[in-house]
Amino acid sequence: MLIITIVNVGYSQDTVEVDTTSYIRPVLKDSVKIDEESLETPIKYDARDSIITDLQKEIVYLYGEAVVVYGDIKLTADMMIVDMNKKEVQATYSLDSLGQPVGKPHFTQGSEEFIADSIRYNIETKKGYIREVRSQYDEFYVQMNQSKRHPNGEIHLKDGKISTCELEDPHYHFHLTNAVIVPEKRIVSGPVNIWVNDVPTPVGLPFGFFPIVQRKKHGILIPEIVPTSQYGFGLKDFGYYIPLGEKVETSFYGTIYTKGTWGVRNQTNYLSRYKFSGSVDLRFDQFKEPWPSTNKINKFSIYWRHQQKPTANPYWRFNADVKFQSDNNTKNSTDINNPLYFNNTLYSSITVNRLFPGTPFSMSMKAGLNQNSQTGNFILDIPTYNFTMNRVFIPFRSKAKRAISSKWYDKIGVTYNLTFQNQATVNDSLFNPSNENYSSDYLKFIPDRFLNGIRHTANINTTVKLFKGALNFNPTIAYNGRINFQYINKYWDNDLQEQVIDTLKGFGYSHDISFNGALTTSLYGYYKAKNGTTLRHELNPSISFTYRPDMGNFRTEYVGTSGELQTWSPYERSLYREPGAGQYGAVSYAFRNNFQMKVRSKKDTITGFKKIKILDRANITGSYNIFLDSLNFSDIKFDFASTPLPFLNLIAGFSLSPYGYDKTTGRVVNEWVLKQNNKLALMTRANASAVFTITSKKSREKMKDIDRKYGTSWDSDINYVMSHPGEYIDFAIPWKINISYNFNFTRPSTNLDTFNIIQTMRFTGDFNITKKWKIGFTGNVNFSDPKDITLTNLTLDLYRDLHCWELSFHWIPIGGNSAFYVKINIKATTLKDLKYELRKPPEFF
């Protein structure tokens, strides 16, 4: 048993220290005879200034940076007395010329470590007394006025403090009259009172229990108190935690609100080091509509994330990212800070990939689900199978000769891809029993909704260098084959006087083949000024021809909605549709440009110049279809992109049509717009975007470090931080701002005298007002109507760093989810639920 008492023995030590030894003293062996049967290991000791041994009393006096080592116990202090007869060590500090303590006793045994004013320790009985000790257990800092250490490692203390604040005089603490510390397990105390800045508060508890388990053990999870919300007063995530070994942990949660809404969930995290990690979250929620309605909405959700490590198996890969909600409504959630509130689409996928080493072959299988709350549809892909052959060369000659050959036929390569897909589109009411249109009989019709088929493609291409490589000619032959297991039949019913479409099951095959030849080259221009500045212009012109013969299954019959002639395909409602009726042949052209400038730079001491990108791309593209009887020219498309500054990205584009239009119907006519309106071309589309991202270099390095450390972590606490970034603010990132602007111009096909303009801007950011204050903001602005500029999705956040506490204010001032809350809480994750919150739900506004 280790018992600790306070022995206030000190001596004055001047602030200027003189080393009385000219060498580093080795650890000395005890020169006093010891009963070897009473001690398991020898005592080793040393001191910097002096070692005095009283052989008669068997006492050793150690002065100046004294150290005693016994087994796994290490004790350091500025002064120590070792009594070999009593097998006892006394340690204390000294005082410098200013009266400040120097060299307080520092005790270490295994993972246990503490600092005290004085220690008296019996090596044989393992009992000790400690006075004014300060120690750390997990996230807790414990200060004890008087304490006793027992042989089993337990510490009994009297008149102590416990806090997560690391300061010697903490901003807050739990005052303990008496307590027991069980290392690596818990701290249990009698009555507890909370003190703030050494001032007692009326807040207290009849007892205290503080877990300090370093390895995880099962236990109760304290709920989060929600004082007010749209569901009323609530207790959120009250539960129980169960570790299932070193690789799996699971938690069960329950949430309940006073207005009748409740939910239960189970979250399981798993990890196999160097192999895989993941988490599964199963939820059931029941939402009660406001009084006087008695309607209830049931919701079942599944969230599953699985990541396989590259080191697990280089040839097999299994990954999953599942987000399923039965009601297809992301706005219903028992989580007040719903991270999916503004999402209209949820996508889930489970994929298996297989690589065949030493071959060009690979395959994959995927099951997917796409949920859209706007359309109310589920798109099921169960499954999609894909087989791929990467490019292989036709072996006209040996591999060695082919590697050094410049002949075009030695560069003929073949690629192949085969895809099988089984897809269905169904309404979300089929999965939600709470929906008024739900019927269990509907589920049996789901198999009839599936469309399935097989598509395979093969490409043969090569590169032919002309005029000593000045021109490159790239011919390609592409084959596409499609097998559909559903097709349609159209006919005109004379009795009903309407068009009838029958969907039939059966094997249907369609295919097409296309021939393409592209001629490309690269041209460079340099424009040099007198001061040495050089503008570099790279032009990559290309011209290509594509021909696809008519191999389709299109029919032209009197089956229109009014009995007129109509051209249709049996596969126009199948999974894989035909590309178009008739033969196709087009000549396409492209002019791709980029501009760079070399300017003088004082920072470059080697060349004296630096390169600046002016335009990353400035492209002009278009085509001419030779087989059309009219409207042969396509729109001329212009595309630009530039990064003039490291924090600014610009993209723009527009399309021009050479044809006019019928002012009555709005349809394009085979007449030049120059003849119709005395204009060279008609703009049909335009877009522009600017992304402005700016932050300090320190912030960029910090954000990269966070993503590198925690981006793939499986720990539940870290995952909580990553999924709730608004609750954990990093003041080490001084500021960051992101502004994106989008402009879109379109002309509706029904009336080309009018056009639509959509202008939006999104901004996010945060910055430190001081070292302790931070402001954050997000929002969207719609400029589409100059008379009605709207601001949406606006959030304002204010944070205050209170050292071991933090204060936050979150406000959504506008919109259907308007709300605000004020929260003050302890930073330590161990006590993250010890907080006060004031919330106001949307109906408050």
- Point out which residues pair with 537 in neighbouring strands: 525, 595
Task: Kindly report, residue by residue over 112-163, the tens digit of the pLDDT.
Answer: 788 888 889 888 888 888 888 778 877 788 888 888 888 887 888 888 888 8
d(CA 388, CA 456): 10
Residue of 223, 166, 163 lying closest to 837 (CA atoms): 223
Q: Long-range contacts made by residues 301-305, C-beta under 8 angstroms, separation at least 24? A: 301/325, 301/326, 303/279, 304/278, 304/279, 304/280, 305/278, 305/279
d(CA 58, CA 80): 14
Q: Phi and psi for 676 in degrees, rounded to 5?
A: -80, -45
Residue range(s) of every CATH 2.60.450.10 domain in the chain = 28-211
Low-confidence ranges of the chain (pLDDT < 70): 1-40, 213-216, 228, 336-342, 396-406, 429-445, 560-561, 563, 604-605, 698-731, 749-753, 815-819, 828-845
Angle between helix 716-723 and helix 697-710 axes, rounded to 10 deg? 140
Task: Kindly report, residue by residue over 240-287, the tens digit of the pLDDT.
Answer: 988 888 889 999 999 998 888 899 999 999 988 888 999 999 999 998
Q: What is the pLDDT of residue 436?
A: 60
Q: What is the pLDDT of residue 835?
A: 57
Q: Sign of the C-alpha dihedral, residues 371, 375, 376, 382? A: negative
Q: What is the pLDDT of residue 363?
A: 96
Cis-peptide, bond into residue 292, ω within 30° of zero: yes
Q: What is the CA radius of gyration of the chain?
A: 38
Q: What is the pLDDT of residue 733?
A: 75
Residue of 385, 530, 406, 409 lying closest to 460 (CA atoms): 409
Q: What is the pLDDT of residue 398?
A: 62
d(CA 836, CA 226): 9
Tell me, letter by letter, the H, E, C secondary structure of 679-733: CCCEEEEEEEEEEEEEECHHHHHHHHHHHHHHCCCCCHHHHHHHHCHHHCCCCCC
Superfamily of domain 28-211: Lipopolysaccharide (LPS) transport protein A like domain (2.60.450.10)
User: How distant is the alpha carbon of residue 40 from its chain centre?
Assistant: 54
Q: Sign of the C-alpha dihedral, residues 209, 212, 218, 224? A: positive
Task: Kindly report, residue by residue over 751-790, the tens digit of the pLDDT.
Answer: 556 778 889 999 988 888 888 888 888 888 988 888 888 8
Contact 176, 160 (CB under 8 A): yes
Q: Phi and psi for 96 in degrees, rounded to 5?
A: -85, -175
What's the mean per-residue pLDDT of the chain? Answer: 81
Q: What's the whole-model pTM score?
A: 0.65
- Point out which residues pair with 149 in neighbouring strands: 128, 155
Q: What is the pLDDT of residue 565?
A: 83
Half-sphere exposure at residue 282, Cβ-oriented, CA atoms within 13 angstroms: 5
d(CA 105, CA 66): 9
d(CA 305, CA 271): 12
Question: By CB neighbour count within 10 A (0-12 exposed, 13-18 middle, 19+ buried), where does 2 fall?
Answer: buried
